[in-house]
Chains A and B, each alone.
Chain A
Amino acid sequence: MTPVAARASRFDVARVRADFPILGERVHGKPLVYLDSANTSQKPQSVIDAMNSYYRHTNANIHRATHLLSERATALYEGARAKAMAFINAPDAPSIVFTKGTTDGINLVAQSYGRSTLKPGDEVLISWLEHHSNIVPWQLVCEQTGATLRVAPINEVGEIDVEAYTAMLSSRTKIVALGHVSNALGTINPVREMTAQARAAGAVVLIDGAQAIPHLSVDVQALDCDFYAFSSHKMFGPTGVGVLYGRRSLLEEMPPYQGGGDMIASVTFEKTCYNAVPYKFEAGTPNIGGVAGFGAAIDYLTAIDREAALAHEDEVLEYATAGVRRLAGARIVGEASRKTAVLSFVLDGVHPHDAGTILDAEGVAVRTGQHCAQPVMDRYGITATIRASLAIYNTRDDIDALLRGLARVKEVFD
């Protein structure tokens, strides 16, 4: 047995599947085969229960009232912050800012840090692999400040051209923003090395961790990045919650992103003093019920053997890759040497959207389209792909159902 197979065999996928009640659903009269977790993951019973219990027993506003429920809600909310801190090995709780999600976190950095520091002539460097949410916020802030957006190219298999990236770094590079894992192709980028290079050039580094966080163990201190943004809903938690990790010294200096309640220390019409971090960046009543669910999602992931889970996902991805490669007329888009959980492909003579409808009728949920990564599609001269994406609960049976569905697609179109 190979080491990966040995690790994967430690993973009890049947037990994991039993934790996710939605996997028992039927769609169009067929058992649900969910292969769209890069879009959003499903939720285990413990997360659903935590949110239910919060609204049933705890619901109150945080940091504001003296009554018992408010105290409980505050403890739950701050408890989740402590869990998030431990989960990504952040040095302290104030470096964890709760957001609406990855997109919100990136916009926060662009509009607070970027807008207050960028000047004409400065450069923001991203890669060709980025999701629109790690492109557009930088375009906006570049437009506002006169800075220039630069894009590191990718090669034919979907890896960032690190040599070209290195050559693009200079004293003009003020911010580097990179996806940890590509949502469209599944490429794992060498963000640790790329971060070190960027920081050596004097840039501040943001990592978009949306697609990495459900699969890889993330240690922000080891990565040594300045910001790391991710979403709860990609890692088995609810939608509408995310985390922005920020280097404490930077967060302290940054101006607020939004104004409102809870982000202030004192307000008069003449002068407002802002609250300390992270509260300075958490204006208004947050998604407390969502944070309760997010805390439970962290507990869920912390309790499983993540090394074994990743090995299991790798094995299913390998099986899927081999299966699709055997299909006549199929072409895999993105064959990086380091990949996780995503298989993007096209079929000769069949538009991905048509394939998606036929697969759906077979109970198989995939995403079809440009995956919010239009530049990646343009790079390969295609308009869309079929994307099957995996989570810890997927099995070879799911892939067999996908392959049967793809055979049905060919039947309709041949």
Chain B
Amino acid sequence: MSDLTDLYQEVILDHNRRPRNFRVLERATHHAEGYNPLCGDRLALFLEVDGDVIADVGFQGSGCAISKASASLMTDCVKGAPIADARVLFERFHRMVTTPPDQAVEDLGKLSVLAGVREFPVRVKCASLAWHTLKAALDRHEKTTTE
């Protein structure tokens, strides 16, 4: 196993302590709930979609540091983004966290702090939960799980 500091980087601990966009959107147009039955993590995601753009995004829920930080970072990245771009980012993020640790991955800017999760296979689902929930919200599936 690589050093724990690869997983629990300062950025992740910060987003865990002070999650961004941690709120319910009163005027949400899209909503989905994510659930990870392995650890009981729950996440509710709210989107306010204006035309083809995610004008605002918020989330609520309880979870481990990885899932909370991942959700927080995700909301930062997709807020104001065209839906099509968010979908592409989902694919790129998914590829990053599922690529074997001995292979190089694309630089995803601040999302790259989560690349360390590849060293901890049981934690990949924690990092992915928010993104799967985003996809479900955009696809208008009300509930999703990481199973």
Contact = CB atoms under 8 A, between A and B. Distances in A.
Interface of A: 28, 350-354, 357-358, 360-361, 368-370, 374, 377, 383-384, 412-413
B62 A361 contact: no
A57 B65 CA distance: 52
A28 B3 CA distance: 10
Interface in B104-147: 120, 122-123, 126
7 contacts: A28-B1, A354-B64, A354-B66, A358-B4, A384-B40, A413-B8, A413-B65
A361 B39 contact: no
Contacts of B82: none
A374 B40 contact: yes
Given A351-B65, A352-B64, 10 more contacts: A351-B68, A353-B123, A354-B64, A357-B4, A357-B120, A361-B4, A368-B39, A370-B39, A384-B40, A412-B8
B4 A352 contact: no
A135 to B, nearest CB: 15
Contacts of A383: 39-42, 62
A353 B146 CA distance: 15
B83 interface: no
A360 B120 CA distance: 11
A28 B119 CA distance: 12
Contact of A377 (B40, B66, B123): B40
B38 A369 contact: yes
B67 to A, nearest CB: 8
Q: Which of A354, A368, A383, A412 has the most CB of B within 10 A?
A: A354
B89 interface: no
Nearest to A370: B40
B40 A357 contact: no
Q: Which of B8, B38, B40, B68 has the most CB of A within 10 A?
A: B40
Contacts of A351: 39, 62-65, 68
Interface size band for B: 20 to 34
A358 B6 CA distance: 12
A165 B3 CA distance: 50
B81 interface: no
Interface in B1-48: 1, 4, 7-8, 13, 38-42
A357 B120 CA distance: 8
B4 A412 contact: yes
Contact of A354 (B38, B62, B65): B65
B116 to A, nearest CB: 11
Contacts of A350: 65
Nearest to A358: B4
A377 B42 CA distance: 14
Q: Which of A28, A352, A353, A412 has the most CB of B within 10 A?
A: A353
- The 10 A-B pairs with the shortest beta carbon distances in the complex, nearest first, are A351-B64, A383-B40, A353-B64, A353-B39, A28-B1, A354-B65, A370-B40, A354-B64, A384-B40, A361-B4
Contacts of B64: 351-354
A383 B36 CA distance: 11
Contacts of B42: 383
A176 B3 CA distance: 50
A354 B13 CA distance: 11
A228 B8 CA distance: 45
Nearest to B36: A353
A380 to B, nearest CB: 12
Contacts of A412: 4, 8, 13
Nearest to A378: B40
